[in-house]
Amino acid sequence: MKRSFLSLVLAVPALLAPSFATLRAQSGPQPPPPLMMFYREAVKPGHGAAHAATEASWGHILTKGKSTDHYLGMSSLTGPSEAWFIMGYGSYADWEAKQDEADKNPALKKEVDAIAQKDGEHLSETRSFLGTLRKDLSFGPPVEIGKMRYMRVRTFRIKQGMGKVFEDGVKTALAAYEKSHFPASFAFYEVEAGTWSPTYVVLRPMKSLADMDVMDAANKAFMDALGDEGQKAMQKAFVDTVNGVENQLFAFSPKLSYPGPGVIASDPAFWTVKPPAATK
The answer to whether residues 83 and 51 touch, using CB atoms and an 8 Å cutoff, is yes
Structural domain contains residue 2: no
128 in the same domain as 139: no
Structural domain contains residue 15: no
Which parts of the chain have pLDDT scores under 50? 3-24, 279-280
What is residue 114's predicted lDDT score, i.e. its pLDDT? 83
Structural domain contains residue 10: no
Q: End-to-end distance of the chain based on CA atoms, in angstroms?
A: 28
What is residue 212's predicted lDDT score, i.e. its pLDDT? 92
262 in the same domain as 195: no
Backbone angles phi, psi at 46, to 5 degrees: 80, 0
What is residue 276's predicted lDDT score, i.e. its pLDDT? 64
**Tens digits of per-residue pLDDT, 116-173?**
788 778 888 889 999 999 999 999 999 999 999 999 999 999 999 999 999 999 999 9
177 in the same domain as 96: no
What is residue 26's predicted lDDT score, i.e. its pLDDT? 65
110 in the same domain as 34: yes
What is residue 3's predicted lDDT score, i.e. its pLDDT? 45
CA distance 213 to 157: 27
The answer to whether residues 35 and 134 touch, using CB atoms and an 8 Å cutoff, is no
CA distance 149 to 259: 13
What is residue 18's predicted lDDT score, i.e. its pLDDT? 30
| Domain assignment of residue 92, given as a range | 20-132+253-271
Kindly list the distances between the CA atom of residue 254 and the CA atoms of 59, 72, 251, in Å, as whole numbers in the listed order.
9, 8, 10
Structural domain contains residue 141: yes
Domain count, the chain: 2
261 in the same domain as 126: yes
125 in the same domain as 139: no
CA distance 151 to 166: 23
178 in the same domain as 264: no
